[in-house]
Amino acid sequence: MDRFVIRGGAPLAGVIPVSGSKNAGLPIPVAAAILGTTDSRITNVPELQDIHTMARLLRHLGSPVEVGDGVLDIGAADSLNVEAEYDLVRRMRASIYVLGPLLARFGEARVSFPGGCAIGARPVDIHLRGMEALGASIEVEHGFIIAKATKLRGADMSLMGPQGTSVGATANVMMAAVLAEGVTTIRDAAVEPEVADLAGCLTAMGARIEGAGTRTIAIEGVGELHGADYALPPDRIESASYILAGAITRGDIRVRGAERRHLGAVLGKLTEADIWLDWEGKDVRVTVPNGIRSVDVDTGVYPGFPTDVQAQYMGLMCMAQGKARIVENIFTDRFMHALELQRMGADIQINGNVATVTGVDRLTGAPVMASDLRAGMVLVLAGLAAEGETVVSRVYHIDRGYERIEEKLRAAGADIQRVSD
Ligand code: UD1
């Protein structure tokens, strides 16, 4: 297992490029591989563990998928194995994305039930409710979700859940409804940019979708979909993470290739915190001419503050002047990183889904452990800002979602080494 050894304390300076979006890069290849009757090519694909896991899952289903050099080449298949087994699904929850498209195209899907994970319970009931609304029968047997339908039929449904809308359920139902008979209306749909991107790719494949990116999506089913060429958008969470790397080290960096309109809530909070952000097209220069101010944050569904940036933002607040209240509304147990940050000298009190962070003058390097992808990233950020040496273990969590992270940070002056056992 790899570790990062970081010698912190130096401000970052230089240019950090943004890669293609992981969260758009998971459903889009699934749609292309399972729903397309001709070949597809996805470009701007980040080199990430999660993308390789998805490619393995699709190959396991019988789809010829090649991944390399930022490209995913997906061959069309007339028939596929409809079973996604435990060993692949347990590695990545997004494996549930195969459910809707397999059901729509082949009338059956058997997907191992995804378990919980380090950020708390992550149920799939909204996905299943959506498939049932389209006329599928659902059973859970021997750890598998078994969904069947001779022909899906369009329906009018709400996908609202206890924590609000669901990105995954909206995407999954959309991938099923594109081949259903008649019109499907999804109300309370997730409006995250990744949903609009998936709809963009499905539309390029011949689907009829209106309203993706708004709360109501209308889908008129078609007989079949062909393949498409589609370029993934920049990763908005990676963009925010590197903007925070510049801020927490009080550096002077440019984050290159970011999509400003997808980052509204994060940019708003950072501006309040007195981080200076100067945009030139898709480049943003990050500087910290004054101190960092403490600013409260509540996570929410898009366009609210993303839960996927909560950990990294908490890192910044550890170094701010004052007290910040961080409320996690999406994954209410998602504070594992707080304990590790405390080991580095942070002052954080947790009460349920509320963290109160009192800024300290300095963090000090320590051995720490990544518990999930974004929790891993904040430890890297804190390590860059801390005095002395930080060793981050369980780097495999970080590799799931950050392409060439140590190379990108080193190019901006960071002292970070990957050490393999
Ligand atoms: C996606 C993102 C993830 C991000 C999350 C929230 C991908 C691959 N992952 O995850 O990085 O953190 O959106 O922005 O795009 N819920 C239910 N029942 C369900 C489904 C979800 O109760 O059937 C709950 C979840 O537990 C959570 C909330 O709804 O509290 C939102 O989850 P959802 O939007 O579905 O997240 P994912 O699609 O899993």
The pLDDT tens digits of the residues spanning 329-344 come to 999 889 999 999 999 9
CATH for 27-231 (3.30.70.330, 3.65.10.10, 3.20.20.190, 1.20.272.10): 3.65.10.10
Residue 201 designated active-site: no
Confidence of residue 47 (pLDDT cuts 50, 70, 90): very high
pLDDT exceeds cutoff 90 at 155: yes
Map tokens 């090649």 to a residue.
Answer: 66
Answer yes or no: same fold for 2-18+234-420 and 27-231.
yes
Q: Is 310 in the pocket of ligand 1 (CB under 6 A)?
A: no
The pLDDT tens digits of the residues spanning 237-294 come to 999 999 999 999 999 999 999 999 999 999 999 999 999 999 999 999 999 999 999 9
Task: From 97, 122, 173, give the residue whose CB has the most ligand 1 atoms within 8 Å, as the site to mutate.
Answer: 122
Q: Is 122 in the pocket of ligand 1 (CB under 6 A)?
A: yes
Q: What is the pLDDT of residue 87?
A: 87
Bridge partner list, 157: 186
Q: Is 353 in the pocket of ligand 1 (CB under 6 A)?
A: no
Q: Is 168 in the pocket of ligand 1 (CB under 6 A)?
A: yes
Residues whose CB falls within 8 Å of the CB of residue 19, separated by 6 or more in sequence, listed in order: 44, 46, 47, 234, 235, 238, 403, 404
In the 3-class helix/strand/coil scheme, how is the chain assigned residue by residue? CCEEEEECCCCCEEEEECCECHHHHCHHHHHHHHHECCCEEEECCCCCHHHHHHHHHHHHHCCCEEEECCEEEECCCCCCCCEECHHHHCCCHHHHHHHHHHHHHHCEEEEECCCCECCECCCCHHHHHHHHHCCCEEEEECCEEEEECCCCECCEEECCECCECCHHHHHHHHHHHCCCECEEEEECCCCCHHHHHHHHHHHHCCCEEECECECCEEEECCCCECCCEEECCECHHHHHHHHHHHHHCCCEEEEECCCHHHCHHHHHHHHHCCCEEEEECCEEEEECCCCCECCCEEECCCCCECHHHHHHHHHHHHCCECEEEEECCCCCCCCHHHHHHHHCCCEEEEECCEEEEECCCCCECCEEECCCHHHHHHHHHHHHHCECEEEEECCHHHHCCCCCHHHHHHHCCCEEEEECC
pLDDT exceeds cutoff 80 at 128: yes
What does the buried/exposed string (b/e) look like for 363-397 if buried means 16 or more CB atoms within 10 Å of the residue's CB? bbbbebbbbbbbbbbbbbbbbbbbeeebbbbbbeb
Q: Is 116 in the pocket of ligand 1 (CB under 6 A)?
A: no
Alpha carbon separation from 189 to 130, 164, 213 (Å, rounded): 11, 9, 8
Residue nearest to atom 25 of ligand 1 (CA): 122
Task: From 330, 333, 397, give the residue whose CB has the most ligand 1 atoms within 8 Å, as the site to mutate.
Answer: 330
pLDDT exceeds cutoff 80 at 59: yes
The pLDDT tens digits of the residues spanning 342-359 come to 999 999 999 999 999 999
pLDDT exceeds cutoff 80 at 94: yes
Distance from the CA of 168 to the center of ligand 1, in angstroms?
Answer: 6
Q: Enter the CATH code of domain 2-18+234-420.
A: 3.65.10.10
Confidence of residue 297 (pLDDT cuts 50, 70, 90): very high
Alpha carbon separation from 297 to 57, 60, 356 (Å, rounded): 37, 42, 10
Domain ranges of the chain: 2-18+234-420, 27-231
The pLDDT tens digits of the residues spanning 305-320 come to 999 999 999 999 999 9
The pLDDT tens digits of the residues spanning 95-123 come to 999 999 999 999 999 999 886 555 556 78
Residue nearest to atom 7 of ligand 1 (CA): 23
In this prediction the pTM is 0.97
Of 239, 294, 293, 241, give the one whose Cα is nearest residue 261.
239
Q: pLDDT exceeding 70 applies to what percent of the chain?
A: 98
pLDDT exceeds cutoff 90 at 366: yes
Map tokens 């470009």 to a residue.
Answer: 43
| Backbone φ and ψ of 277, nearest 5° | -125, 110
Distance from the CA of 94 to the center of ligand 1, in angstroms?
Answer: 10
Bridge partner list, 418: 4
Map tokens 């981080």 to a residue.
Answer: 275
Of 310, 315, 380, give the one whose Cα is nearest residue 342.
315
Distance between CA atoms of residues 256 and 16, nearest Å: 6
- Among residues 5, 13, 117, 218, the one annotated as catalytic is 117
- Could you tell me the two tokens for 34? 């399972």
Amino acid type, 123 = P
Residue nearest to atom 38 of ligand 1 (CA): 168
Q: What is the pLDDT of residue 117?
A: 53
CB 64 within 8 A of CB 36: no
Tell me the average pLDDT of the chain: 96
Q: What is the pLDDT of residue 213?
A: 97
The pLDDT tens digits of the residues spanning 367-396 come to 999 999 999 999 999 999 999 999 999 999
Confidence of residue 421 (pLDDT cuts 50, 70, 90): confident
Confidence of residue 91 (pLDDT cuts 50, 70, 90): confident
Q: What is the pLDDT of residue 332?
A: 83
Residues whose CB falls within 8 Å of the CB of residue 288, separated by 6 or more in sequence, listed in order: 246, 247, 250, 251, 274, 275, 276
Q: What is the pLDDT of residue 145?
A: 95
Q: What is the pLDDT of residue 217?
A: 98
Residue nearest to atom 20 of ligand 1 (CA): 124
